[in-house]
Amino acid sequence: VPYPPEHKAKTRARIIEAARVMFNRHGFEQVSIDEIMKHAGLTRGGFYHHFPSKEALYAEAVRSFTSCNPFSRKLAAHEGPPPSPRALARMLVELYLSDDILGDVDQHCPLIALPSDVARAGLKPRNAYTKVVQNMLHVFARAFPTDDARAEQKAQLIVNLCVGGMVIARTVTEPALRTEMRAAARAQALSILAGNTQRTRR
């Protein structure tokens, strides 16, 4: 064994992280393998020792957000007793729609940074994207009592609001709109989490 066994895994992880950032900034097609490898401190040629294709790396980069994201980092830095599921959900809404995240594309969730890119990609990136959605739904669904028959639907609503608000805010050029769309989404999402009754048509 010429290199320490964890050596290749570390390099691989470095490439994925570099790719995640570069894809967030410029999208899938606009980033070259050359640039990703350079950003990871490597050169073009080694790429295919780690991934079978650019698209396979794309799927890995999307999926990697589940385990490494600003929300997890915030929780890891959190002191004191662990927050309740409901408090956790509130924190996620606030963070997701915050000015800090809007202004920092590198940290964007793939749901915000890459929706139309992934929609046109192959099955592997789309499956990875689906996993990220399900992960987010799960955090919100747990915020409601286990006997709440509408918990799943409410979680879906909150995800819709967070994603819709951020996708529009980050694309639109009108500053007022960039703030208001997120403010409306935040207020409604927090209202749903607070348990306000939602009358709903069937």
Partner DNA sequence: TGTACATCAGTGAACGCGCGTTCACTGATGTAC
Chain residues binding its own copies by CB under 8 A are 26-27, 29-30, 111, 113-120, 123, 126-127, 129-130, 133-134, 152-153, 156-157, 159-165, 167-168, 170-174, 177, 180-181, 184-185, 187-188, 190-191, 194, 196, 198-202
CB closer to DNA, 17 vs 152: 17
Determine the Cα angle at 13 with ends 7 and 16, to 5°.
Answer: 145
- Which residue ranges make up the site for DNA (CB under 7 A)? 1-4, 7-8, 11, 29, 31-35, 37, 42-50, 53-55
Q: Tokens 């790429």 — which residue?
A: 47
**Which one of DNA, its own copies, none interacts with residue 46, CB within 5 to 8 A by kind?**
DNA
Q: Name, in order, each residue with C-beta under 8 angstroms of 127's C-beta and a sequence gap of 6 or more.
A: 59
Both tokens of residue 6? 């964890």
Amino acid at 126: R
CB closer to its own copies, 89 vs 161: 161
Among candidates 86, 98, 92, 62, which has minimal Cα distance to 74? Answer: 92
| CA atoms of 146 and 133, how far apart (whole Å) | 20
**Which one of DNA, its own copies, none interacts with residue 92, CB within 5 to 8 A by kind?**
none
